[in-house]
Each structure stands twice: as C-alpha cells, then as structure tokens.
Amino acid sequence: MRVSVVIPVHNEAENIGRLLLEVESALTPEGHFEIVVVDDGSSDNTAQILNDLKQTIKTLRVIRHKSCYGQSTALMTGIRAAASPLIATLG
C-alpha cells in the first residue's frame, strides 16, 4: 500500500526534525510511502532544516510557499502534490 503523508508547517524549526523522523520510523515497516511537507512561508530556519533532512529522509518531498497563506492552503498544496490517492494529513 502506498500512502502520502501531507504535513503543513509554519515556523517549526524546533520541532520539524523530530516529527519527520518519528513519521518515517512509524511508516518504514509498512512499506511504500512519501512525506510531503509544505512550508507555508516560514521566517525561521524551517526551510534549511527541511533541506538538510532531505539528505537523510529519502521519502521526503518539500514544497515551499513564498508567503504565509494559511494552514488550509498549505494542506491543499500538499494534497494536490501527493503521488498517492491514499493521503494522510497531519496539521
């Protein structure tokens, strides 16, 4: 079963690494998956941390909004970009 996990974030530099590692750890035994994170125009170090995490979490895809459009818009961006018809959201 393939699943896309969509996570909208905004200014989550302190938390995003731990969250993504936990999601990856939980899903790895289940098989094929992707994690789609939509950075909704963060002004902290979230974008850099996400770029760094892409080196170790191979299933991670990052989409970045240039401005903050809100959680609902970020969620829809991620859903539209998801590769799987089965989508789980965190938000």
**Domains identified in the chain and CATH numbers:** 3-89 (3.90.550.10)
For residue 34, give Cα distances in angstroms to 3, 24, 54, 78, 81. 7, 9, 12, 11, 11
Closest by CA position to 3, among listed 29, 21, 22, 27: 27
Torsion sign across C-alpha atoms 28, 29, 33, 36:
negative
Alpha carbon distances (Å) from 29 to 14, 32, 33: 26, 9, 10
Residue range 20-35: mean pLDDT, rounded = 93
pLDDT in tens, 35-77: 999 999 999 999 999 999 999 999 999 999 999 999 999 999 9
pTM: 0.94
What is the reported pLDDT for 30? 84
| pLDDT for 1 | 47
The reported pLDDT for the residue numbered 31 is: 84
SS3 39: strand
